[in-house]
Chains A and B, each alone.
Chain A
Amino acid sequence: MRSGPWTLLKVTVAAIYLFILGPIAITAAVSFNATNRSFFPPRGFSLRWWGEAFSPQWIQPLMFSLELAALTAIIATVVGVPLAFAFQRYEFPGKAIIRTVTLGPLILPTLVTGIALLQFLTVIGLGRWLGYWALLIGHVIICLPFSVRTIAISLQAMPGSVEQAATNLGAGPLAVLRYVTFPLIMPGVFAGMAFAFIHSFTDINMSLFIARPGQRPVTVAIMSFLDFGFAPTLAALSILSLLIPLVLVALLGRFVGIGNFLYQEQGRG
């Protein structure tokens, strides 16, 4: 039954995959150019640009991004667990509003959230926070929805009867949390942490406005270097910054089983 039209669909899909993966493959190829221009196909072969990508000029923003994303992910998780609990397990006046505000940054343009923060901090006289502290605040705001939603999904997926059973067997509320609830939602918590990490690590729209020289994530550093031309170093750096989240997701998928959540973190709506 799968004949003509299906073959046509397969060809179309192959072309779409080429569209999806082509530019990323080309960026990778360009980084091995022997010339200092981003030619494709690459002229000659050299690892010079990869060497340059590991020079202090680029390692500094890369490490800054990693540190910022790690810290953001941890805070978003620590704050996200109680929020997800409250949203999933309790009915209380004001819940709808707090929920909308928490998930809001997912929907509103990050760029606008960024300029709002820039303007607000400057006007109330906390302009000196711009750079590290403002970045941390901004990133927690835009990454929190990812951890809250993922943790809420794992709480929802957990049958309430399990906790009930533990209570019936004499476990106190804290023992239930410690020995039943937390172990069961752990994959969700880690998945949420990974999403928050990736979202922070790949962000540009928030950092663009509140980063300061010396305290710039790698995306902003690449962006401002682009004004001087498209050196192959930037291609190497782009690929490097793609590999980091890729390895993270692969490791988490392997050890914590977050694969199921990748699927559920659908769309944004």
Chain B
Amino acid sequence: MLTSTAPPGRLVPYLLVALPATFLLVFFVIPTAFLLSASFIESDGVIMTGVWTTANYTDLLSRPLYQQAILRTFMIGLGVGVTVVVLSYPLAYFLVRTPSRWRGLLIALSLSPLLASVIVRTYGWWVILNREGAVNSALLTLGLIDQPLVLLPSSMAIIIGLSHALLPYGVLTIMASLNGLNPNLERAAMSLGAGRARTFLTVTLPLTWPGIIGGFLLAFAVAISAYATPAILGGPGTQVMATLIRSFMVQALDWALGSAMGAILLVSSILLLVLTSALGNRRTA
């Protein structure tokens, strides 16, 4: 064709992405942008009035119930992040260094919770921690307590349940950074007279620090937006942002507060992500 100066290949990528990109624009990008703007619009139930306002945010941030829920969400995220890293590190270290021929199976086993829905993983914790659960019946049988302990609902139970659910993320992240570690550095430290503990503390640990931070932030980010575990292991007294969003959107039908809370969650996750990638860049720079 005379009018076409571009080589025909130039159009190919656009043909490949046109349909999916349009789909994502309509059903993902626009709805998310809409949610963000809806959080600044006054609304009456699910009907938006079109009046711009910041009242949704001041409402959320001034009522003690909501303040506590937001604070609790971040405390739980922090607790989960720390627990995940503390439990993943020894496991990842073992899986990377073990000479065992069962290594492949052990890795698969440690990642297996990823195949189960969060509900499956949380159900077991309910059975263990409830009033008539495994922990209480064991302690009662042993005569260590004479009244069942109230382990549920509590923030602690939520932290345990979420740490269990998110452990594979920590294991994968830390394994990746241990795999990337040059073993010669450790050998060099030891040949220069550093003991095993000192080598670990001054060489291995600092060099895998980015993996630790990465695993922490990933677990933190996923934990703050988790719904099922806080809903099952928590109760009315342990509301978090996700359970509040659910009650705003479905029960109270207060979509203004729901979108504002959603926007806070969205922005928090993005900030955590930016932080993670900033740390990642510093590592490679």
| Contact surface of A with B, Cβ cutoff 8 Å | 5, 9-10, 12-13, 16-17, 19-27, 30, 37-41, 79, 82-83, 85-86, 89-90, 92, 95, 98, 101-102, 104-105, 107-113, 115-123, 137-138, 140-141, 144, 198, 201-205, 208-209, 219, 222-223, 226, 230, 234-235, 238-239, 241-242, 245-246, 249, 262-263, 266-269
Contacts and interface: CB of A to CB of B under 8 A. Distances in A.
B200 to A, nearest CB: 9
A121 B30 CA distance: 11
Contact of B31 (A9, A40, A107, A120): A120
Given A79-B20, A113-B28, A119-B34, 6 more contacts: A20-B112, A39-B132, A92-B13, A241-B117, A267-B215, A267-B218
Interface residues of B, number: 90
Given A112-B225, A219-B117, A122 B20 contact: no
A111 B265 contact: yes
Interface stretch (B52-60, B86-94, B142-150): B86-94
Contact of A82 (B16, B25, B113, B116): B16
A26 B133 CA distance: 11
Contacts of B167: 19-20
B242 interface: yes
A267 B29 CA distance: 24
A14 to B, nearest CB: 10
A40 B17 contact: no
Nearest to A239: B120
A234 B21 contact: no
Contacts of B109: 17, 20-21
Contacts of A198: 114-115
B50 to A, nearest CB: 12
**Interface of chain A: mostly helix, strand, loop or mixed:** helix
Contacts of B273: 107
B127 interface: yes
A203 B269 CA distance: 19
Contacts of A9: 90, 93-94
Contact of B32 (A24, A113, A144): A113
The 10 A-B pairs at the shortest CB distance, nearest first, are namely: A23-B124, A109-B225, A120-B31, A90-B13, A116-B31, A202-B117, A82-B16, A86-B16, A238-B120, A116-B35
